[in-house]
């Protein structure tokens, strides 16, 4: 895996993890009972983006480490997931 591929893999994992972490512990304005005029009841009261970004970075680094180790060691290859035997045999 090249450096560019490693960076791209980390960014993809980071954004996927961020979208999972984003709605956690979210309290809407409607739930808090304090709706700001001009906003929707479903808008967050407090978003805590800095804390969620830190949590995302730590989680993404751990996940990236696991995935990069699997790729670099060859523990799982493309041939391992060729369930329909469409790849030609190795010479």
Q: Where are the domains of the chain?
A: 3-81
Tell me the pLDDT tens digit for each residue of 48-71: 889 999 999 999 999 999 999 999
SS (H, E, C) 23-80: CCCCCEHHHHCCCCCCCCCCCECCCCHHHHHHHHHHHHHHHHHHHHHHHHHCCCCHHH
Of 4 and 77, the one with more pLDDT: 4
User: Could you tell me what percent of the chain has a pLDDT over 70?
Assistant: 100
Question: Distance between CA atoms of 9 and 16, rounded to whole angstroms?
Answer: 11
- Total-model pTM: 0.78
CA distance 21 to 38: 27
């Amino acid at each position: 895996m090249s450096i560019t591929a490693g960076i791209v893999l980390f960014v993809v994992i980071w954004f996927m993890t961020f979208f999972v972490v984003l709605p956690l512990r979210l309290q809407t304005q409607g739930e808090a009972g304090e709706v700001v005029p001009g906003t929707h009841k479903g808008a967050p009261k407090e978003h805590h983006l800095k804390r969620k970004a830190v949590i995302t970075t730590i989680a993404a680094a751990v996940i990236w480490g696991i995935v990069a180790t699997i790729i670099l060691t060859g523990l799982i290859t493309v041939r391992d997931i060729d369930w329909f035997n469409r790849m030609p045999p190795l010479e």
